[in-house]
Amino acid sequence: EEIEKGGYDHFMLKEIYEQPRAILDTYRGRLLADQGLIRMAGIDEHLEKFLNANRIIIVACGTSWHAGLVAEYIFEDLARIPVEVEYASEFRYRNPVITDKDVLIAISQSGETADTLAAIKMAKEKGAFVFGVCNVVGSSIARETHAGAYTHAGPEIGVASTKAFTTQITVLTLMALKLAKEKGVFSQSKFHEFLTELETIPAKVEKALESNALIEVIANVYKDSTNCLYLGRGYNFPVALEGALKLKEISYIHAEGYPAAEMKHGPIALIDEQMPVFVIATKKGHYEKVVSNIQEIKSRKGKIIAIVTEGDTQVRELADHVVEVPETLESLTPLLTTIPLQLLSYHIAVMRGCNVDQPRNLAKSVTVE
Protein backbone atom coordinates (compact mmCIF):
# COMPACT_ATOMS: atom_id res chain seq x y z
CA GLU A 1 0.00 0.00 0.00
CA GLU A 2 2.85 2.39 0.82
CA ILE A 3 4.18 1.84 -2.70
CA GLU A 4 0.75 2.54 -4.18
CA LYS A 5 0.65 5.83 -2.31
CA GLY A 6 3.72 6.87 -4.26
CA GLY A 7 5.40 8.67 -1.37
CA TYR A 8 2.28 10.54 -0.26
CA ASP A 9 0.88 10.06 3.26
CA HIS A 10 -2.60 9.33 1.96
CA PHE A 11 -4.30 8.29 -1.25
CA MET A 12 -6.41 11.42 -1.11
CA LEU A 13 -3.36 13.68 -1.24
CA LYS A 14 -1.85 11.63 -4.05
CA GLU A 15 -5.10 11.88 -5.98
CA ILE A 16 -5.33 15.64 -5.42
CA TYR A 17 -1.84 15.98 -6.85
CA GLU A 18 -2.65 13.71 -9.78
CA GLN A 19 -5.23 16.14 -11.10
CA PRO A 20 -3.08 17.99 -13.66
CA ARG A 21 -2.23 14.64 -15.19
CA ALA A 22 -5.73 13.21 -14.87
CA ILE A 23 -7.32 16.22 -16.57
CA LEU A 24 -4.80 15.94 -19.38
CA ASP A 25 -5.55 12.22 -19.76
CA THR A 26 -9.25 13.07 -19.91
CA TYR A 27 -8.98 15.39 -22.89
CA ARG A 28 -6.03 13.71 -24.61
CA GLY A 29 -7.09 12.41 -28.02
CA ARG A 30 -10.43 14.21 -27.71
CA LEU A 31 -9.45 17.84 -27.74
CA LEU A 32 -7.70 18.50 -31.03
CA ALA A 33 -7.02 22.22 -30.85
CA ASP A 34 -4.78 22.33 -33.92
CA GLN A 35 -7.56 20.79 -36.02
CA GLY A 36 -10.17 22.90 -34.26
CA LEU A 37 -12.31 20.00 -33.16
CA ILE A 38 -13.39 17.77 -30.31
CA ARG A 39 -13.68 14.09 -31.02
CA MET A 40 -15.82 11.99 -28.70
CA ALA A 41 -17.06 8.74 -30.16
CA GLY A 42 -20.02 8.48 -27.78
CA ILE A 43 -21.36 11.80 -29.00
CA ASP A 44 -20.30 11.59 -32.65
CA GLU A 45 -22.25 8.37 -33.04
CA HIS A 46 -25.40 9.79 -31.44
CA LEU A 47 -25.17 13.43 -32.36
CA GLU A 48 -28.79 13.66 -33.51
CA LYS A 49 -30.01 12.50 -30.10
CA PHE A 50 -28.24 15.41 -28.45
CA LEU A 51 -29.11 17.99 -31.09
CA ASN A 52 -32.80 17.05 -31.06
CA ALA A 53 -33.10 16.69 -27.31
CA ASN A 54 -35.75 18.76 -25.55
CA ARG A 55 -33.56 18.84 -22.50
CA ILE A 56 -30.79 17.01 -20.72
CA ILE A 57 -31.50 15.39 -17.37
CA ILE A 58 -28.43 14.72 -15.25
CA VAL A 59 -28.63 12.12 -12.48
CA ALA A 60 -25.92 11.36 -9.95
CA CYS A 61 -25.13 11.12 -6.24
CA GLY A 62 -22.61 12.80 -3.93
CA THR A 63 -19.67 14.52 -5.54
CA SER A 64 -20.79 13.36 -8.98
CA TRP A 65 -24.02 15.27 -8.41
CA HIS A 66 -21.96 18.39 -7.78
CA ALA A 67 -20.16 17.82 -11.08
CA GLY A 68 -23.65 17.58 -12.61
CA LEU A 69 -24.54 20.97 -11.16
CA VAL A 70 -21.44 22.51 -12.72
CA ALA A 71 -22.46 20.85 -15.98
CA GLU A 72 -25.87 22.50 -15.78
CA TYR A 73 -24.18 25.89 -15.93
CA ILE A 74 -21.86 24.76 -18.70
CA PHE A 75 -24.52 23.17 -20.95
CA GLU A 76 -27.00 26.00 -20.55
CA ASP A 77 -24.49 28.82 -20.80
CA LEU A 78 -22.35 27.44 -23.62
CA ALA A 79 -24.57 25.07 -25.60
CA ARG A 80 -27.97 26.63 -24.76
CA ILE A 81 -29.54 23.27 -23.92
CA PRO A 82 -31.94 23.18 -20.94
CA VAL A 83 -30.68 20.97 -18.14
CA GLU A 84 -32.14 19.50 -14.97
CA VAL A 85 -29.91 17.98 -12.33
CA GLU A 86 -31.37 15.36 -10.05
CA TYR A 87 -30.28 13.25 -7.12
CA ALA A 88 -30.70 9.75 -8.52
CA SER A 89 -32.39 8.62 -5.30
CA GLU A 90 -35.08 11.30 -5.59
CA PHE A 91 -35.51 11.11 -9.33
CA ARG A 92 -36.22 7.39 -9.43
CA TYR A 93 -39.00 7.57 -6.88
CA ARG A 94 -40.84 10.69 -7.90
CA ASN A 95 -42.58 9.48 -11.04
CA PRO A 96 -40.68 11.93 -13.25
CA VAL A 97 -41.88 12.97 -16.70
CA ILE A 98 -39.44 11.41 -19.16
CA THR A 99 -39.93 11.17 -22.93
CA ASP A 100 -38.01 9.83 -25.88
CA LYS A 101 -36.93 13.42 -26.57
CA ASP A 102 -34.93 13.51 -23.34
CA VAL A 103 -31.26 12.74 -22.98
CA LEU A 104 -30.25 11.46 -19.58
CA ILE A 105 -26.63 11.80 -18.50
CA ALA A 106 -25.63 9.63 -15.55
CA ILE A 107 -22.42 10.63 -13.79
CA SER A 108 -20.66 8.12 -11.56
CA GLN A 109 -17.05 7.60 -10.61
CA SER A 110 -17.50 3.94 -9.66
CA GLY A 111 -20.22 3.18 -12.17
CA GLU A 112 -21.84 1.04 -9.47
CA THR A 113 -24.01 3.41 -7.43
CA ALA A 114 -27.32 1.61 -6.95
CA ASP A 115 -29.63 4.64 -7.13
CA THR A 116 -27.94 5.97 -10.27
CA LEU A 117 -28.17 2.57 -11.91
CA ALA A 118 -31.87 2.31 -11.06
CA ALA A 119 -32.54 5.80 -12.47
CA ILE A 120 -30.85 4.75 -15.72
CA LYS A 121 -33.00 1.65 -16.05
CA MET A 122 -36.15 3.65 -15.48
CA ALA A 123 -35.19 6.33 -18.03
CA LYS A 124 -34.40 3.66 -20.59
CA GLU A 125 -37.80 2.05 -20.09
CA LYS A 126 -39.41 5.42 -20.80
CA GLY A 127 -37.49 5.79 -24.04
CA ALA A 128 -34.82 8.31 -23.10
CA PHE A 129 -31.35 8.15 -24.59
CA VAL A 130 -28.94 7.44 -21.73
CA PHE A 131 -25.32 8.55 -21.72
CA GLY A 132 -22.84 7.58 -18.99
CA VAL A 133 -19.89 9.54 -17.61
CA CYS A 134 -17.98 6.96 -15.57
CA ASN A 135 -14.44 6.46 -14.38
CA VAL A 136 -14.35 2.70 -13.87
CA VAL A 137 -14.09 0.97 -17.22
CA GLY A 138 -16.60 -1.82 -17.78
CA SER A 139 -18.62 -0.88 -14.67
CA SER A 140 -22.34 -1.61 -14.42
CA ILE A 141 -23.35 1.92 -15.39
CA ALA A 142 -20.91 1.94 -18.31
CA ARG A 143 -22.55 -1.25 -19.54
CA GLU A 144 -26.15 -0.24 -18.89
CA THR A 145 -26.01 3.08 -20.80
CA HIS A 146 -26.54 3.51 -24.57
CA ALA A 147 -23.27 5.40 -24.96
CA GLY A 148 -20.79 7.23 -22.82
CA ALA A 149 -17.43 8.81 -22.18
CA TYR A 150 -14.91 7.64 -19.63
CA THR A 151 -13.14 10.15 -17.46
CA HIS A 152 -9.77 8.33 -17.57
CA ALA A 153 -8.86 9.64 -14.11
CA GLY A 154 -7.18 6.37 -13.11
CA PRO A 155 -8.13 4.48 -9.94
CA GLU A 156 -9.48 6.64 -7.13
CA ILE A 157 -8.94 4.98 -3.76
CA GLY A 158 -9.67 7.76 -1.26
CA VAL A 159 -13.33 7.67 -0.30
CA ALA A 160 -13.58 11.44 -0.70
CA SER A 161 -13.70 12.05 -4.42
CA THR A 162 -11.19 14.53 -5.85
CA LYS A 163 -9.75 13.78 -9.26
CA ALA A 164 -12.99 12.09 -10.30
CA PHE A 165 -14.76 15.44 -9.79
CA THR A 166 -12.41 17.55 -11.89
CA THR A 167 -12.22 14.97 -14.67
CA GLN A 168 -16.02 14.63 -14.75
CA ILE A 169 -16.20 18.40 -15.21
CA THR A 170 -13.59 18.13 -17.96
CA VAL A 171 -15.59 15.51 -19.88
CA LEU A 172 -18.82 17.44 -19.47
CA THR A 173 -17.09 20.63 -20.66
CA LEU A 174 -15.83 18.84 -23.77
CA MET A 175 -19.36 17.60 -24.43
CA ALA A 176 -20.89 21.05 -24.01
CA LEU A 177 -18.27 22.68 -26.22
CA LYS A 178 -18.78 20.10 -28.91
CA LEU A 179 -22.53 20.57 -28.85
CA ALA A 180 -22.18 24.36 -28.82
CA LYS A 181 -20.12 24.08 -31.97
CA GLU A 182 -22.44 21.55 -33.66
CA LYS A 183 -25.50 23.64 -32.84
CA GLY A 184 -23.88 26.72 -34.28
CA VAL A 185 -24.05 28.57 -30.94
CA PHE A 186 -20.28 28.99 -31.02
CA SER A 187 -18.27 30.55 -33.80
CA GLN A 188 -15.07 28.75 -34.78
CA SER A 189 -13.02 31.48 -33.10
CA LYS A 190 -14.92 31.29 -29.80
CA PHE A 191 -14.67 27.50 -29.94
CA HIS A 192 -10.95 27.78 -30.54
CA GLU A 193 -10.54 30.17 -27.63
CA PHE A 194 -12.11 27.58 -25.32
CA LEU A 195 -10.02 24.72 -26.68
CA THR A 196 -6.75 26.54 -26.22
CA GLU A 197 -7.73 27.69 -22.73
CA LEU A 198 -8.74 24.17 -21.74
CA GLU A 199 -5.28 23.03 -22.76
CA THR A 200 -3.75 25.41 -20.21
CA ILE A 201 -5.77 23.97 -17.31
CA PRO A 202 -3.36 21.20 -16.22
CA ALA A 203 -0.55 23.76 -15.78
CA LYS A 204 -2.94 26.10 -13.95
CA VAL A 205 -4.03 23.30 -11.61
CA GLU A 206 -0.34 22.69 -10.97
CA LYS A 207 -0.01 26.36 -10.06
CA ALA A 208 -3.05 26.17 -7.76
CA LEU A 209 -1.40 23.22 -5.96
CA GLU A 210 1.54 25.48 -5.10
CA SER A 211 -0.65 27.10 -2.42
CA ASN A 212 -0.40 23.91 -0.38
CA ALA A 213 1.89 25.37 2.31
CA LEU A 214 -0.29 28.46 2.73
CA ILE A 215 -3.39 26.27 2.95
CA GLU A 216 -1.75 24.22 5.69
CA VAL A 217 -1.31 27.42 7.70
CA ILE A 218 -4.96 28.35 7.16
CA ALA A 219 -6.07 24.82 8.08
CA ASN A 220 -4.21 25.12 11.35
CA VAL A 221 -6.15 28.27 12.22
CA TYR A 222 -9.58 26.75 11.57
CA LYS A 223 -9.09 23.08 12.42
CA ASP A 224 -11.06 23.31 15.68
CA SER A 225 -14.10 24.99 14.17
CA THR A 226 -17.43 23.30 14.70
CA ASN A 227 -19.25 24.92 11.78
CA CYS A 228 -18.14 26.38 8.47
CA LEU A 229 -19.93 28.09 5.64
CA TYR A 230 -18.94 27.87 1.96
CA LEU A 231 -20.23 30.45 -0.48
CA GLY A 232 -20.02 30.84 -4.23
CA ARG A 233 -22.12 32.15 -7.09
CA GLY A 234 -22.79 30.96 -10.63
CA TYR A 235 -20.32 28.34 -11.78
CA ASN A 236 -18.77 28.37 -8.33
CA PHE A 237 -21.93 27.72 -6.36
CA PRO A 238 -21.55 23.94 -6.91
CA VAL A 239 -17.88 24.30 -5.92
CA ALA A 240 -19.04 25.74 -2.59
CA LEU A 241 -21.29 22.69 -2.11
CA GLU A 242 -18.42 20.38 -2.96
CA GLY A 243 -16.03 22.24 -0.65
CA ALA A 244 -18.47 21.80 2.23
CA LEU A 245 -19.02 18.13 1.41
CA LYS A 246 -15.26 17.46 1.39
CA LEU A 247 -14.89 19.00 4.84
CA LYS A 248 -17.87 17.08 6.28
CA GLU A 249 -16.79 13.77 4.82
CA ILE A 250 -13.27 13.61 6.14
CA SER A 251 -12.96 16.02 9.08
CA TYR A 252 -16.46 15.59 10.59
CA ILE A 253 -16.88 19.35 10.88
CA HIS A 254 -20.35 20.54 10.05
CA ALA A 255 -20.22 22.61 6.88
CA GLU A 256 -22.81 24.09 4.58
CA GLY A 257 -22.46 25.25 1.03
CA TYR A 258 -24.72 28.04 -0.15
CA PRO A 259 -25.20 30.33 -3.12
CA ALA A 260 -23.65 33.56 -1.81
CA ALA A 261 -26.74 35.67 -2.52
CA GLU A 262 -28.98 33.24 -0.66
CA MET A 263 -26.98 33.82 2.52
CA LYS A 264 -29.30 36.64 3.54
CA HIS A 265 -32.24 34.23 3.63
CA GLY A 266 -30.88 32.22 6.53
CA PRO A 267 -27.21 31.42 7.00
CA ILE A 268 -26.33 35.06 7.74
CA ALA A 269 -28.00 34.55 11.12
CA LEU A 270 -25.23 32.10 12.01
CA ILE A 271 -22.35 34.44 11.31
CA ASP A 272 -20.32 35.64 14.28
CA GLU A 273 -16.61 35.79 15.12
CA GLN A 274 -16.53 31.99 15.51
CA MET A 275 -17.70 31.28 11.98
CA PRO A 276 -15.18 30.69 9.19
CA VAL A 277 -16.70 31.53 5.81
CA PHE A 278 -14.95 30.23 2.71
CA VAL A 279 -15.86 32.39 -0.26
CA ILE A 280 -15.05 31.78 -3.89
CA ALA A 281 -14.47 35.25 -5.28
CA THR A 282 -12.71 34.87 -8.62
CA LYS A 283 -12.55 37.85 -10.97
CA LYS A 284 -15.04 36.66 -13.52
CA GLY A 285 -18.64 35.90 -12.70
CA HIS A 286 -20.49 38.25 -10.35
CA TYR A 287 -17.27 39.43 -8.74
CA GLU A 288 -18.63 42.74 -7.45
CA LYS A 289 -21.66 40.98 -6.03
CA VAL A 290 -19.49 38.49 -4.18
CA VAL A 291 -17.41 41.38 -2.84
CA SER A 292 -20.54 42.90 -1.34
CA ASN A 293 -21.43 39.51 0.18
CA ILE A 294 -17.96 39.49 1.73
CA GLN A 295 -18.60 42.95 3.18
CA GLU A 296 -21.81 41.65 4.75
CA ILE A 297 -19.88 38.81 6.40
CA LYS A 298 -17.18 41.17 7.60
CA SER A 299 -19.63 43.55 9.20
CA ARG A 300 -20.91 40.58 11.23
CA LYS A 301 -17.35 39.69 12.24
CA GLY A 302 -17.22 36.38 10.37
CA LYS A 303 -13.79 35.08 9.42
CA ILE A 304 -13.28 35.28 5.68
CA ILE A 305 -11.11 32.91 3.71
CA ALA A 306 -11.36 33.81 0.03
CA ILE A 307 -10.34 31.99 -3.12
CA VAL A 308 -9.37 34.76 -5.53
CA THR A 309 -7.85 35.30 -8.94
CA GLU A 310 -4.10 35.90 -9.05
CA GLY A 311 -3.28 39.56 -8.43
CA ASP A 312 -6.58 40.39 -6.72
CA THR A 313 -6.36 43.39 -4.40
CA GLN A 314 -9.98 44.25 -3.56
CA VAL A 315 -10.87 41.05 -1.69
CA ARG A 316 -7.42 40.89 -0.11
CA GLU A 317 -8.24 44.09 1.79
CA LEU A 318 -11.38 42.56 3.28
CA ALA A 319 -10.49 38.92 3.85
CA ASP A 320 -8.59 37.31 6.73
CA HIS A 321 -6.86 34.95 4.31
CA VAL A 322 -6.72 34.73 0.55
CA VAL A 323 -5.64 31.87 -1.67
CA GLU A 324 -4.94 32.68 -5.30
CA VAL A 325 -5.73 30.62 -8.36
CA PRO A 326 -4.68 31.48 -11.93
CA GLU A 327 -7.04 33.36 -14.19
CA THR A 328 -9.12 31.43 -16.71
CA LEU A 329 -12.45 31.60 -18.54
CA GLU A 330 -15.36 31.82 -16.12
CA SER A 331 -16.78 28.45 -17.12
CA LEU A 332 -13.46 26.74 -16.39
CA THR A 333 -12.93 28.30 -12.94
CA PRO A 334 -14.42 25.31 -11.03
CA LEU A 335 -11.46 23.21 -12.20
CA LEU A 336 -9.17 25.59 -10.31
CA THR A 337 -11.20 26.86 -7.36
CA THR A 338 -11.92 23.30 -6.23
CA ILE A 339 -8.22 22.57 -5.66
CA PRO A 340 -7.57 24.75 -2.56
CA LEU A 341 -10.79 23.54 -0.97
CA GLN A 342 -9.74 19.91 -1.41
CA LEU A 343 -6.34 20.64 0.15
CA LEU A 344 -7.93 22.55 3.00
CA SER A 345 -10.23 19.65 3.93
CA TYR A 346 -7.34 17.26 3.66
CA HIS A 347 -5.08 19.21 6.03
CA ILE A 348 -7.84 19.89 8.54
CA ALA A 349 -8.73 16.19 8.62
CA VAL A 350 -5.08 15.18 9.10
CA MET A 351 -4.65 17.74 11.91
CA ARG A 352 -7.75 16.39 13.63
CA GLY A 353 -6.37 12.86 13.45
CA CYS A 354 -9.14 11.58 11.18
CA ASN A 355 -8.90 8.60 8.89
CA VAL A 356 -8.65 10.60 5.67
CA ASP A 357 -8.85 7.78 3.15
CA GLN A 358 -11.55 5.80 4.90
CA PRO A 359 -13.78 8.13 6.87
CA ARG A 360 -16.23 6.59 9.31
CA ASN A 361 -19.60 5.45 7.98
CA LEU A 362 -18.75 6.18 4.34
CA ALA A 363 -18.06 3.84 1.45
CA LYS A 364 -16.28 4.46 -1.82
CA SER A 365 -19.08 2.93 -3.78
CA VAL A 366 -22.63 2.64 -2.54
CA THR A 367 -24.16 -0.42 -4.13
CA VAL A 368 -27.19 -0.57 -1.86
CA GLU A 369 -29.97 1.97 -1.85
Residue 244 CB, shortest distance to ligand G6P, in Å, is 14
Q: Is 62 in the site for ligand G6P (CB under 6 A)?
A: yes
Q: Phi, psi at residue 307, to the nearest 5°?
A: -100, 115
CA–CA distance, 33 with 73 (Å, rounded to integer): 23
Residue from the set 19, 26, 89, 116 that interacts with ligand G6P by CB under 6 A: 116
Tell me how far, at minimum, the Cβ of 233 lies from ligand G6P, in Å: 23
Nearer to ligand G6P, 102 or 249 (CB): 249
User: CB pairs under 8 A, 24+ apart, for 195-200?
Assistant: 195/31, 195/33, 195/36, 195/38, 196/33, 197/328, 197/329, 197/332, 198/27, 198/31, 198/170, 198/173, 198/174, 198/332, 199/27, 199/31, 199/33, 200/328
How many amino acids of this chain bind ligand G6P (CB under 6 A)? 16
Would you count residue 352 as binding ligand G6P (CB under 6 A)?
Answer: no
CB of 313 to ligand G6P, least distance (A): 36
Distance of closest approach, residue 108 Cβ to ligand G6P, in angstroms: 3
Among 58, 59, 159, 275, the residue binding ligand G6P under the rule CB under 6 A is 159
157 binds ligand G6P (CB under 6 A): no
109 binds ligand G6P (CB under 6 A): yes
**365 touches ligand G6P (CB under 6 A):** yes
113 belongs to the binding site for ligand G6P (CB under 6 A): yes
Element (H, E) at 141: helix 140-144
- Which DSSP category does 368 fall into? -
Q: Which residue is nearest to ligand G6P (CB)?
A: 62
Closest CB to ligand G6P among 249 and 324? 249
**Whole-angstrom distance, CA of residue 17 vs CA of residue 210:** 10
Smallest distance, Å, CB 287 to ligand G6P? Answer: 30
Cβ proximity to ligand G6P: between 71 and 308 the closer is: 71
User: For 78, which DSSP code?
Assistant: I
Compute φ and ψ for 190, nearest 5 degrees: -65, -40
What is the C-alpha end-to-end distance of the chain, expressed in Å? Answer: 30
- Find the part of the chain contacting ligand G6P (CB under 6 A) among 156-164, 187-195, 203-211, 262-270: 156-164
Euclidean distance between CA atoms 295 and 299, whole angstroms: 6
Q: Which of 234, 194, 176 is nearest to 53 (CA)?
A: 176
Shortest separation between residue 141's beta carbon and ligand G6P, angstroms: 8
Which residues are designated catalytic?
Answer: 364
Q: Residue 295 phi/psi, 5° resolution? A: -60, -35
Residue 63 binds to ligand G6P (criterion: CB under 6 A)? yes
C-alpha dist (Å) from residue 15 to 29, 127, 136, 153: 22, 38, 15, 9
Residue among 181 and 246 whose Cβ is closer to ligand G6P: 246
**By CB under 6 A, which span of 56-64, 73-81, 142-150, 344-352 interacts with ligand G6P?**
56-64
- Please list, in sequence order, all residues whose beta carbon lies within 8 angstroms of the beta carbon of residue 299, skipping any fewer than 6 positions away: none
Per CB under 6 A, does 364 bind ligand G6P?
Answer: yes
Where does this chain bind ligand G6P (CB under 6 A)?
A: 61-64, 108-110, 113, 116, 159-161, 362, 364-366
